[in-house]
Structures are given as structure tokens and as C-alpha cells.
Amino acid sequence: MQKNESKLAINKLLAVCRQQFEPKYGRLEKLESSRDNVVLANKINGVVLRIGLNKSITDTKNEVTLLKYMADRGFPCAKVLGMDTITYIKKVLAVTVFENISNDAHVVSLSTNSKAELLGAAATLAKLHNITLDFCRINSFVQQRNLDDPLIQFEKCLLTKRHNTSNYTEIARATNWVNRFWKKHKYTAKPNVIIHNDYRPQNVFFDQSNVVKAVIDFDWAIQSCHPEKDIAHAALEWSMTDGAKVLDWGRFKLFCKTYANVINRDIGVNMNDIVGWAKFAAFIDAVHYFNCYPERTAVRFESYMYDKYTYLTKVHNGT
């Protein structure tokens, strides 16, 4: 029933969006929808509209400012064509209009991307951090969330599932480890950069020469002095497919090495415990999923990112 109600709500939202925006942009087709966004596009006219379901107007404006700053400095990201709003069920939603890049660009799967693409992705992530070092010095990139927010929310949820989930003890142990890791690394004097927070193959587009054309989906980007979380999460995603049993350590190390060769030393990235950061990132990503879909964890906590956390736990000696 919940699924049908959600589909009905999305369809109503689509009708409102089309009524408001099709006179300007032409026929809009739905590309995707999630708990966070609904994405529409007119590929002929070359526009993509992203309707934020949970992101505030202020946060969206800050994201647009960031993207324009990076584009002006040569960073490959989708060009922002404008920003608008739409009112749906008495709620004002932010609408960001992007140039459509998918007509002459493509993403790669982990099974098909080459060494050149991996190197390009790693170097581009380092460029993102380099460019936003100066951005954070002169701008206030305030977002209504922090790096550990999913964990804080999950701990409250965990208390209500003590006697209901079969792997509660295992999850509680993992939560304790992540809390200890975060407490160890949280406070640092390093400068802030913008971390993407979702730098996976699906969010990096390549041109026909397999050069990075655009990085997309900055929905979860935040200002942070912990770029290690970003590089570790990215290296994990570019070296271990969802559902895989083992990580390709050669690709993981190559991604990290390429990043380290490009990153500005003033940022102070510490690569000594990058596997620990990958473990941290995998669990944070997993609990975000648990928070978004509590009905799917009524009996057992399971997700492909939690599987990656479990795998890394077996090979990581950090405490």
C-alpha cells in the first residue's frame, strides 16, 4: 500500500511539474525518482530538471553557488541553467535546471571501466577538493546536515529494534566501532573542503575519449575537514561492485595513489588509515539506507554497503 501511495504521489507531482514547466522547456519525461529527488528531462532541448523533495531552498541555492564556482574554474560538472520553485501539497520545493550531458557522454560500470577511466576519476576527485579549498575560505557552504548525522539518527532507531532484528548485536557492535573511529578523527585543525559524499561510477560521466566530462549529484555534498572520507568512499566504490564478495585491492590502491599525486598538500590529507575510513564510509552509507527504509530492516539489517563494511572488518585491524 505504501508503495502504491508513493507512486501515486510522484505521478501527481509530475503532473504539476509538467503543467508549470513544459510551456518553457517542452515535453518532460521522468528519468528517475527517489526519496530525495524527482528528475525530469527533455533530451531534445538538452535540459534536466531536478525537483528536491527534502532539500531546503537555502541548501539548494548554496549548491548552485558551489557548482557555478567550480565550473568557472574549469571543474567538469553539469552546467546550471537556472533555479526555480514549485508548490506541491502546500510545500515549496526547489527545482534546479541543468544542461543535459547524457546525449554525448556516458557512465561506466565497474566491470567495464578501464584503468584510464579510474585514473581520471581519482584525479578529478582530487581537483574537486583542491578547487573547493579556496571556495570554503571565502564562502559559507552551510548545509542542514553533518557527516555523522545518519549515525546519530540511526542510533535512535536502533533502540526501538533491540528485540526485533536477528543481527541486532552485530549491528550494535559495528555502531560502537564507528563511534570510536569518529571520535578519534572528528576534531582536527585541517582546512575545510567540499566532499562529494557519493562519488561512485554512476555519478561520473565520460566523453567519447573516456575523459571525465562531468561529475553529477552533489545533493549530499557538505563542507568538511575530512576529505579522507570522500577518497575512501570513492576508492571503495570504484574497486568493489555492489554485491561483490571481495574488493579489488589493486584498483583501490591505484585510485588512492592517483588522488595523492594530485591533491594539494595544504589540505593535509592523511592516507595512513584510508581502509578505516572506507569502513567508516560504508557503514555511514548503510545506516542512511536503514534510516530511509525502516520497513526493510524489520527482521534483519541488510544492505550491499553493510556487506562491504562487514568485508572490510575482516581485513582491517583498526580499533
pLDDT in tens, 222-262: 999 999 999 999 999 999 988 889 999 999 999 999 999 99
The pair phi, psi for residue 214, each rounded to 5°, is -160, 140
CATH of region 2-102 = 3.30.200.20
Q: What percent of the chain has pLDDT over 70?
A: 94
Q: Do domains 2-102 and 115-315 have the same CATH topology?
A: no
Is residue 71 predicted with pLDDT exceeding 90? yes
- pLDDT tens digits, 178-207: 999 999 999 888 999 999 999 999 999 999
Instruction: Encode pLDDT of 54-64 as tens digits.
Output: 889 999 999 99
Q: Which residues contact 251 (CB under 8 A, 6 or more apart)?
A: 118, 238, 239
List the grid coordinates of 127.
581537483
- Nine-digit cell string for 224: 568538511
Cell of residue 11, nine digits: 505521478
Q: What is the pTM of this model?
A: 0.91
Given a cut of 70, is residue 317 above it in pLDDT? no
Beta strands in 89-192 (DSSP E): 91-99
Q: Where are the domains of the chain?
A: 2-102, 115-315
With bands split at pLDDT 50, 70 and 90, how would you rate the model's confidence at 105?
Answer: confident
pLDDT(4) > 60: no
C-beta of residue 312 within 8 angstroms of C-beta of residue 279:
yes
CA distances from 2 to 11, 204, 269, 288, 292 (A): 14, 32, 44, 20, 14
Reported as a single tens digit per residue, the pLDDT across 156-181 is: 777 776 657 788 888 889 999 999 99
Total number of residues shown for the chain: 319
Average pLDDT, the chain: 89
Q: Rounded distance, CA 35 to CA 144, Å? A: 17
DSSP E strand stretches across 80-196: 80-88, 91-99, 193-195
At a CB cut-off of 8 Å and minimum separation 6, what does 181 contact? 276, 279, 280, 318
Is the predicted pLDDT of residue 319 greater than 50, yes or no?
no
Taking the C-alpha atoms of residue 303 and residue 307, their distance in angstroms, rounded to an integer, is 6
- pLDDT bucket at 1, cuts 50 / 70 / 90: very low
pLDDT class for 104, splitting at 50, 70, 90? confident
In sequence order, what E strands does 90-173 have? 91-99
Tell me the percentage of the chain whose pLDDT exceeds 90: 65
Residue 59's contacts (CB-CB under 8 Å, 6 or more residues apart) are 94, 142, 143, 144
Q: How far is CA 302 from CA 175, 252, 289, 296, in A?
A: 14, 24, 9, 8
How many Å from the N-terminal Cα to the C-terminal Cα in the chain?
A: 44
Query: Under CATH, domain 115-315 is a member of which superfamily?
Result: Aminoglycoside phosphotransferase (APH), C-terminal lobe (3.90.1200.10)
DSSP one-letter code for 127: H
Helix (H) or strand (E) holding 13: helix 2-25
Q: Do residues 264 and 135 touch, judged by C-beta distance below 8 A?
A: no
Distances from the Cα of 40 to the Cαs of 9, 37, 88, 96, 98, in angstroms?
15, 10, 16, 11, 10
pLDDT at residue number 300: 80
Q: What is the mean pLDDT of residues 147-152?
A: 84
pLDDT score for 163: 57
